[in-house]
Amino acid sequence: MKLPKVVEDLTNSFEKLPGIGRRSAQRLAFYLLRVPQKDLDSFAHSLTNLKKLTKICTICHNLTDQEQCAICSDPSRDGSQVCVVESFQDVLAIEKSGSYHGVYHVLHGSISPLNNIGPDELYIDTLILRTKKLTVKEVILATNTSLEGEATALYIQQALNDIKVKISRIGRGLPTGVEIEYADDQTLVHAFGTRKIL
Ligand code: ZN
């Protein structure tokens, strides 16, 4: 049976999302046909504005709708500690755990030669610039414990070698391969508390 074109188009869009197959995509499209029009309008509005109304923090590259994110502009955060993470989701997970009161630096990925992602594709140059400022006393490497995360941590450690700053790595208590994003609060609290000075 040939579906109306708009349903077909929507299904194709859903199918492009991570983890969504053809059947799930179709189920979502059919589900939305039963949703009130005002909810659909609101959904469409959010999609249209998702990229227009968000920005990347000019200091730490976290997600924000201002020039600087809420964490960078919070004077109660300890600017002498910079926690380096791969993604926005990692910031959310660490914030939720309440284990950390410094600021962040979001790399937007990890070094992955298989996916053609090298250091130049990540926000490592701005991390080096930030670290050179006298206010930074410790850089906490909180990339994932995956192969890519470890390679990224090692690369950054070497890149910061000439700068007089304490470098530490979280991870003890964080099982190998467990992503920060999915780690539970207790594990993250432990991982920060037992971080190892490199
Ligand atoms: Zn920021």
- What tens digit of pLDDT does each residue of 63-87 get? 999 999 999 999 999 999 999 999 9
Span 99-120, average pLDDT: 94
With 0-12 / 13-18 / 19 or more C-beta atoms within 10 angstroms meaning exposed / middle / buried, residue 121 is middle
Span 119-128, average pLDDT: 96
- What percent of the chain shows pLDDT beyond 70? 96
Span 17-32, average pLDDT: 96
Q: What are the start-end ranges of the H helices in 33-182?
A: 37-49, 88-97, 125-132, 147-159
- Using the CB atoms, write b or e for 151-167: b if 16+ within 10 Å: bbbebbeeebeeeebeb
For residue 79, give the nearest of 97, 57, 101, 99 by alpha carbon. Answer: 101
Q: How far is the CA of 62 from the centre of ligand 1 (A)?
A: 5
Altogether, the residues listed in the chain come to a count of 198
Starting at the edge strand found earlier in the chain, the sheet holding 196-197 runs 102-106, 78-85, 138-141, 166-169, 196-197
Q: Which residue has the tokens 């039963």?
A: 34
Q: How far is the CA of 48 from the centre of ligand 1 (A)?
A: 24
User: Please, are residues 47 and 53 in contact by the beta-carbon 8 Å criterion?
Assistant: no
- Apex CA 155: angle with CA 63 and CA 91, to 5°? 25
Q: How far is the CA of 144 from the centre of ligand 1 (A)?
A: 20
User: Please, are residues 142 and 94 in contact by the beta-carbon 8 Å criterion?
Assistant: yes
Q: What is the pLDDT of residues 30-39, one digit of tens each?
A: 999 999 999 9
Task: Please report the sign of the dihedral spanned by the C-alpha atoms of residue 132, residue 159, residue 187, residue 64.
Answer: positive
Q: Which band of pLDDT confidence, cut at 50, 70 and 90, is reported for residue 123?
A: very high
Q: How far is the CA of 46 from the centre of ligand 1 (A)?
A: 23
Span 128-155, average pLDDT: 93
Select the more confidently predicted residue: 14 or 185.
Answer: 14
Q: How far is the CA of 125 from the centre of ligand 1 (A)?
A: 16
Q: How far is the CA of 82 from the centre of ligand 1 (A)?
A: 11
Q: How far is the CA of 184 from the centre of ligand 1 (A)?
A: 24
Q: Is 177 left (phi over 0), alpha (psi -120 to 50) or beta?
A: left
Q: Which band of pLDDT confidence, cut at 50, 70 and 90, is reported for residue 118?
A: very high
